[in-house]
Every structure is written in C-alpha cells, then in structure tokens.
Amino acid sequence: MTQILFRADASPAIGTGHIMRCLALADGLSHSGAEITFACRELPQSLQDMLRQRQYRLLPLLGAVDAQEEADCILQSLPQPPDWLIVDHYELDAHWELVMRPRVRHLLAIDDLCNRPHAADIVLDHNLSFSESDYRPLVGKGCRLLLGPRYALLREQFAGKTYQVSRTIRRVLVSFGGSDPGGELFKVMDAATGLPGIHFTFLAGQANLAWNALQQRAVSQPDWCLLRHVDNLAELMLEHDLFIGAAGGMALERAAIGLPGLVIAVADNQIPGAEAMAEAGLHHYLGRADEVDAPAIRAAVLAADYQQRTHWSAAGRKRVDGKGIARVVNEIRACALILRRVLEVDRDLLFASRNAPEIRRWALQTDEISRPVHDRWFSARLKDEDCLFLIGELDAEPVGVVRFDRLPQQTDVCVSIYLLPQFIGQGLGAALLRRAQHELVCHWPDVTMIRAEILPANHASLALFQGAGYQRDGEAYVLSIGDIRT
C-alpha cells in the first residue's frame, strides 16, 4: 500500500485552508488505496476530528525545533518511510525539503507564493497568479510544475454542478474560511443591515473564536442565518445568488460551482490570486480587507447586476472544472511509471491489445490483424535497430506501449503510443509520453525531431500531443527535441 505523509498546519492565526486542501487531496489518494498520515504542529480539535473520522493517522510535532529534529521525529514515528511527502506550508522551503529528501521516495510541494526555492519532484500552485517562467528558477530541472485551476484541490462535491444565475439577488452567502481571524464577518453584517429584503447566510467556520459574539449579533435579524459548519458546501452555494468572502481556496470552490462572487483579500498572499482571477473575469475583487468597509460592500452588492453575475459565473465554471484532484492523483501515480524494452514474452499481450476495439478505433490501420501477420511484424520490430520499442509499467503491470521508428533522414523519428484498454482515461498517457521521450534522447542522442500522425477525430491524442508541445506541420504534429517538456 502506498504511504502518503502530509505536512501542514492550521490555527486561528494562519487559518484552515492548508489542511482543508490537503484533506481533499488525501481523500482522493485514499480512494486510490493509499494510506494517509498527517504530521502537524498545530491543529484545532475540529480538524483533528476530521482526520480521525477518515481514519487518517495524526502525528503531532511537539518537541522538534529545527528541520533535522522534525525530520527525525517524523521518521521515527512511522512504521516505514513514506512513498510520498506532500508539504503545504509557507515556512518550509528547499532547506527543509532537502533534509527530508533522503528519507522519502517522492516529494510534492503545494505553493501559492512563488517566493522560495523547492527541492521537489512536483510543485503545485492551483492559482492563476504565476506561470512556469516564474517558478522554473525556483525548482530543479526535472521538477514537474502543475500550475493553474486545472489542478485546484477541490472536494468531489464541487464537480459537475449545474448553477442557474438568478435575475435578482435574494440570497447572499458569506464566508471567510474556517477561522476569520480578522473578523470580516462582522463587517459584512454591518453592510447587510442596510440591505433589507436580502437573506444573508453567514458561515463562520469551526475554528472561529468569535462564535458567541456572532450569535449575539445575528439573533435579532430574521433575514440572517448563522452557521458554524456544513458538510456539503457545494449544495449550500447552489442555493445562493451571490457570494462574499475571502480570496483563498473557497474562491476556487465558488468558481467551480458558478456562484458569482465579491472577493476580499484577508492576507497579503491572497492578493495576487484575487487580482488574477478578477482580471480573468471570475469575480469582482473589492481589495484588501483593511481597504474595504461596510459601505463599499453594500455598494458592490447593489451594483452586481445580472449581466455581470452571468459573466463571472460562466468564466468561473470554464476555468475551474472541479477535476483537479483526479489530475493530481494521476500525476502522483504516474511518478511510479517505469519503462522497459518490449520482449519476446510480450508477443501475446501486444497482439491482444492491438486488436482491442478501443485501440483499433484510433489506429491508422483500423482492420483487425491476424495472428500470422502480427507475429511477422512483432519479430521484425524486435530485430529492427531503427525501432525503439517500449512498454510502460506500474507496479510491474503493463499500462501502455510506445514505439519510435527512425525515418529515412535518420534524425527524425515517428512516434506511436497507446494505453492498454483497462488504463484508458486514468491520465497516464502524458506521463508515458514524457518518459518515452527522455528514453529516446538517451537511446538516440542524434535525433532532432519527433513526428506524430494523428487522426483528426482523435481528440484525446490531439490533446495529449498538443499538451506536450507538439505543433501542427502539414498532416502531422512535430516536436523538436530541444522543446521536450519536463
């Protein structure tokens, strides 16, 4: 069983966002069969309860004072070294990661700030704020960068919802995360008193230390509903016409639903993401918390007309599809992918897979191949010095086939790739292609160009090769060896 160790903290001061998005990823990995452990210095009781309910192990870090002591504390408390360390912490960088690297197989760093180096196999930033050119100087050459809302760490409940923008604003949902240390809910309550006829739902968060004061404020307001926690936030969002809240993870959740939003940055690290999402048309950014008062919030609610809200809703759903967890889980799985040469023992496997309807449908030759024809072809490929014939495996099980054939000009090769039928749709194609391309460079250093012939209706293959940087060249797609992406 794959062992996954998360390193993250939560408190009223730093909020609960790091733990919540790690929990979402942990759930996805757990569903894939992984065993989960969280190592934390600080964690409110409500979040500890969430871990226990999921039967995730909690490893308290109480005595460690530096990176080396923390690493020793973690590793001494685990029955075996983790396969993956996933760290989501603004105070931990390459120095801490390098201490941990010899003790783990793989490391993934979750970041929002793009302000410190990482010694990770994968760096994930699901915001719109930074590009590959921003992160590349901060990571190693082989580091895989997962950037943008395609990789948003959202719970499954936020995918595939249908939201209808209302003509008028009747219900407003307000939330500033799990703790709201700045007391922004009170500010919105001040604004709400001047907006009669609109129902406000205030979601305080389980770590909110001002719960009693919020209750006292809300008790005399018949059009207000004060909640401390809900299990299905997506359903609550679907019931409202407008959202007012922080520019953290909930802004991405709201965008995936399509709920139009007015956003306030409650911390400096939220500003780049809030501004980038506003520029992309995903919401209206009101500014930093210390710059936004109750009258400004009230005016923004009144100004949010149907046309604006429709635009924000559509832009959000287009950019954030709620499938980020599945993509990240697939990337993690793909790191265990290994390549080997095709061998004589693979003859039957390739005969069966090449004739599978799912494979033949998109082959350049769609007819079923007879056994004698396959055997002659297979034997010739094994002997052909101008053919690099590879199989990708996960846990010693074949998942896909890649073949490179030298073209007459010798410096060009033609690539053929397919996944075995049972692995189609699991996000392994991109990793298989990346690994095979690097194997190609090692095997034939003189090759300068890769060509791929793709049927126009094969949208999955088109997306695969275009995502890997291939460009249209007549009837084929080509990639210069110098443009191979990590």
Q: What is residue 63's predicted lDDT score, i.e. its pLDDT? A: 66
Give the end of a domain, one of 276, 308, 329.
329
Asked if 26 and 137 sit in the same domain, the reply is: yes
Domain count, the chain: 3
Q: What is residue 272's predicted lDDT score, i.e. its pLDDT? A: 93
Reported as a pLDDT band with limits 50, 70 and 90, residue 68 is: confident
Asked if 23 and 150 sit in the same domain, the reply is: yes
Asked if 250 and 176 sit in the same domain, the reply is: yes
Mean pLDDT across the chain: 93
- Look up residue 354 and give its two tokens: 């090449």
Which comes out higher in pLDDT, residue 475 or 348? 348
Q: What is residue 248's predicted lDDT score, i.e. its pLDDT? A: 85
Q: What is residue 273's predicted lDDT score, i.e. its pLDDT? A: 93
Give the end of a domain, one of 272, 294, 329.
329
| Residue 62 confidence (pLDDT) above 80 | no
How is the chain split among helix, strand and coil, in percent rounded to 5? 40, 20, 35
pLDDT digits (tens, 9 = 90+) for 245-288: 999 889 999 999 999 999 999 999 899 999 999 999 999 999 99
Asked if 221 and 236 sit in the same domain, the reply is: yes
pLDDT (average), residues 439-448: 94
Enumerate the β-bridge partners of residue 284. Answer: 262
Asked if 34 and 133 sit in the same domain, the reply is: yes
Q: The pTM is what?
A: 0.85
pLDDT digits (tens, 9 = 90+) for 190-221: 999 999 999 999 999 988 999 999 999 999 99
Q: What is residue 165's predicted lDDT score, i.e. its pLDDT? A: 98
pLDDT digits (tens, 9 = 90+) for 120-147: 999 999 999 999 999 999 999 889 999 9
Distance (Å) of CA 254 to CA 14, 157, 161, 248, 316: 21, 12, 11, 10, 8
Asked if 265 and 176 sit in the same domain, the reply is: yes
Asked if 44 and 119 sit in the same domain, the reply is: yes
pLDDT digits (tens, 9 = 90+) for 363-400: 888 889 999 999 999 999 999 999 999 999 988 899 99
The b-or-e profile of 409-420 (16+ CB within 10 A means b, else e) is eeeebebebbbb
Asked if 173 and 268 sit in the same domain, the reply is: yes
pLDDT (average), residues 307-319: 97
Asked if 9 and 128 sit in the same domain, the reply is: yes
d(CA 38, CA 174): 30
Where is mean pLDDT largest: 10-19, 249-258, 424-433? 249-258
For 293, the domain range is 160-319
- Look up residue 199 and give its two tokens: 């129902």
> What percent of the chain has a predicted confidence (pLDDT) above 70?
99
Please state at what angle helix 17-31 crosses helix 249-257, rounded to 10 degrees. 60
- Please classify residue 424 by burial: count the beta carbons closer than 10 Å to its beta carbon, then call 0-12 exposed, 13-18 middle and 19+ buried: middle
pLDDT digits (tens, 9 = 90+) for 20-30: 999 999 999 99
| Contacts (Cβ under 8 Å, ≥6 apart) of 157 | 232, 233, 234, 235
Q: What is residue 485's predicted lDDT score, i.e. its pLDDT? A: 61
Reported as a pLDDT band with limits 50, 70 and 90, residue 486 is: low
